[in-house]
Amino acid sequence: MMISLIAQQPMLLVVWVTAILISLTAHEFSHAWMANIKGDKTAELAGRLTLNPFAHIDWMGVVFLLTLGFGWAKPVPFNPYNLQDPRRDSLLIALAGPASNLVIATIAALILRVMITGGFITGVDMLFAFLLLLVIINLFLMFFNLVPIYPLDGSKVLDALLVKPEHQKIKMQIMMYGPRVLLILVLLSIFTTFNIFFFVSAPSYAVCSALVGYNCSGLLGMIF
């Protein structure tokens, strides 16, 4: 698919990569921004409180997002001991990334909806492709990162909620086995035809369709 895009529709590939860079950058910047306003300067000192995509991008994560529909950027560091309320603020920092993706997806979807219904977009062009990809990529990132598997944001949300002593064993198991489970899921998605990440793609397309007012799976088929 990537090779055919480069050969046949190089501009579409540029639009696709641009949408990915915007989405990943906003996600990681939001983590850094939330940590900063909550009193922790670790991300700022590490050069992560910036909208420069090259400060955040993990290129392997970009490749996965291009080929499999889910991906990641470099995690933003923060020190919970610098936070005003470590439990609450850690939760807010974890949720800031997915929340930014939801905001971007909603704005892009509403713009796309208005342009389609208003007749400003009558066919498939690069603006149509950019807005649709921006919606879908951000929704995929949001739902994927909310999966409670370490090191995704969902595991940090779970960590902030599981505060009782008896929860420590569960948290340790999530940290220990999470990366292995994630790797197995990724490999299954690569080497089998079974969509192991249906719990990411299904709600992403459902929310996209609700926001745009049209079937997003069908719209995406018009692009590729």
Q: pLDDT digits over 68-119, tens only?
A: 666 678 889 999 999 999 989 999 999 999 999 999 999 999 999 999 999 8
What's the CA gap between 63 and 16, in Å, rounded? 11
Give catalytic status of residue 44 as yes or no: no
> Minimal CA–CA distance to 200: which of 139, 131, 153, 148?
139
In percent, the amount of the chain with pLDDT more than 70 equals 91
Catalytic residue among 25, 28, 89, 211: 28
Say whether the peptide bond before residue 151 is cis (omega within 30 degrees of 0): yes
Q: Do 135 and 211 form a contact (C-beta atoms < 8 A)?
A: yes
Length of the chain: 224
Which domain, by its residues, includes 205?
2-223
Total count of domains within the chain: 1
Burial of residue 107, with CB atoms counted within 10 A of its CB: 0-12 exposed, 13-18 middle, 19 or more buried: middle
What's the CA gap between 16 and 29, in Å, rounded? 20
pLDDT over 70 (residue 132): yes
Q: In 77-215, where does DSSP find H-type helix?
A: 86-117, 126-145, 153-161, 168-191, 198-212
